[in-house]
Amino acid sequence: MSAEIQLIRKTVREFVDSAVLPQIKKMEAGEYPRDLVKKLGELGLLAPLVPAEYGGGSADTLTQVVIIEELARASPALATIAEIQGSMIAHNIYELGNKRQKEEILPKIAAGDYVAAFALSEPCCGSDAAAIETRAEKVGREWVLNGTKMWITSGLHADYYLVFARTGPREARHRAITSFLIPRSSCIEATPIEVMGMHGSGTAEVKFNNCRAGDDDVVGEVNGGWRVAMNGINLGRLNVGALGLGIAEESFIQAFKYAKKRVAFGRPISEFQIIQHYLAEMYIKAEAARSVVYTAAKMRDGGDPQFVLYAQAAKVLGSRAAVENSRLAVQIMGGFGYSKDAHVEMLYRDAKVTEIYEGTNEIILNTLFKFLDREVG
């Protein structure tokens, strides 16, 4: 880790202590942390990969994963909001957006003035995203969008939606999908969805009812939306690995400290061998995740084409470490671990979705196998 990255880690920790931790209870009650999104933007932590001239942090991928890791230790919900807005949207627009989108909208998304949502999944199709049914029809010079998106993070509060719609026959699958960047307006109806964890992240069903868009609102090429989706998702999967690492690491630290203090049968529970083994296993899982997440980030920074393969591995390993370590942390902390006073109770609920969103782990294993078959087979 360079001195620069260590400094950024310290900055994020200070931000977490002073601004994020005091807001956890409010977020758990469902409040969306718009002020924290803005503050992350001001600190250059929201869209680290985007150049500063477009409102980002001009940093590298390793810096980005360290930011997500540190945010996730305190609030996986905030880390999710940040990584989607910063990587899957802002960085995507920077790489694939047009001049107007880059000059007028990107700086406000990257700086946290606007909240943005990535709207791909639908009631019909999450894993099979190439089968989406939301349509964009060309009527005169305008596109008219109709359809329903599901499970959209920040969907309840977004000022802008990066929405994916079908612009050709359904049989053409991913070759007939176009992405549009459209502002919130009265044609958009967002309804909250209550979920197990990630409270405060504004998860919503979002309906597009005859929403109008111009050619200028298309991101990338017409029928080239799949490229935009994958460009965001590959980076997003690495970020989910980092998020899982943060959860796994914090679960380990909290369980370790508790085990040293909690007394049962006249001695600290850390003196029972099974607790020692649980803690040792948790350490191994967190460090294995760290190793793959950081390696993948460095591969991307070095332009290594195998980055995509490692990003998938990082997602699976990080999410598993998150689920397993948070479960064990609750177990080690007994009844207290199961109470709302324990941070690990929230981490345990938040961890589960890291195995589901941005491609379920099953879908990622499918992708990984195809990749390996091509490269190794």
Ligand X SMILES: Cc1cc2nc3c(=O)[nH]c(=O)nc-3n(C[C@H](O)[C@H](O)[C@H](O)COP(=O)(O)OP(=O)(O)OC[C@H]3O[C@@H](n4cnc5c(N)ncnc54)[C@H](O)[C@@H]3O)c2cc1C
Q: Which residues bind ligand X (CB under 6 A)?
A: 84, 118-121, 126-127, 151-153, 195, 198, 203, 353, 356-360, 362-363, 366
Residue with tokens 């998106």: 149
Cβ at position 98, least distance to ligand X in Å: 22
Contact 23, 16 (CB under 8 A): no
Nearest to ligand X of 223, 360 (CB atom): 360
Cβ at position 282, least distance to ligand X in Å: 24
Nearest residue to ligand X by CB is 126
The two structure tokens encoding residue 122: 């639908």
Q: For residues 110 and 197, give the distance between their C-alpha atoms in angstroms, rounded to a whole number.
A: 26
Nearest to ligand X of 284, 369 (CB atom): 369
CB contact set of 285 (below 8 Å; sequence gap of 6+): 248, 320, 321, 324, 325
For residue 183, which phi and psi values (nearest 5 degrees)? -75, 160
For residue 208, which phi and psi values (nearest 5 degrees)? -110, 115
Closest CA relative to residue 51, chosen from 114, 105, 111: 111
Cβ at position 363, least distance to ligand X in Å: 6
358 is catalytic: yes
How many residues are recorded in the chain?
377
Q: For residues 247 and 335, give the distance between their C-alpha atoms in angstroms, rounded to a whole number.
A: 20
Cβ at position 93, least distance to ligand X in Å: 16
The two structure tokens encoding residue 321: 């470490």
Cβ at position 199, least distance to ligand X in Å: 10
Q: For residues 344 and 295, give the distance between their C-alpha atoms in angstroms, rounded to a whole number.
A: 27
The two structure tokens encoding residue 41: 């933007």
CB contact set of 158 (below 8 Å; sequence gap of 6+): 115, 116, 117, 152, 184, 190, 202
Nearest to ligand X of 156, 330 (CB atom): 156
For residue 164, which phi and psi values (nearest 5 degrees)? -105, 130
**Residue 296 DSSP class:** H
Cβ at position 164, least distance to ligand X in Å: 8
Closest CA relative to residue 223, chosen from 160, 180, 161, 162: 180
Cβ at position 168, least distance to ligand X in Å: 20
Nearest to ligand X of 230, 253 (CB atom): 230
Candidates 194, 358, 362, 375; catalytic one: 358
Q: For residues 67 and 16, give the distance between their C-alpha atoms in angstroms, rounded to a whole number.
A: 11
Q: How far apart are the first and last CA of the chain?
A: 35
Catalytic residue ranges: 358
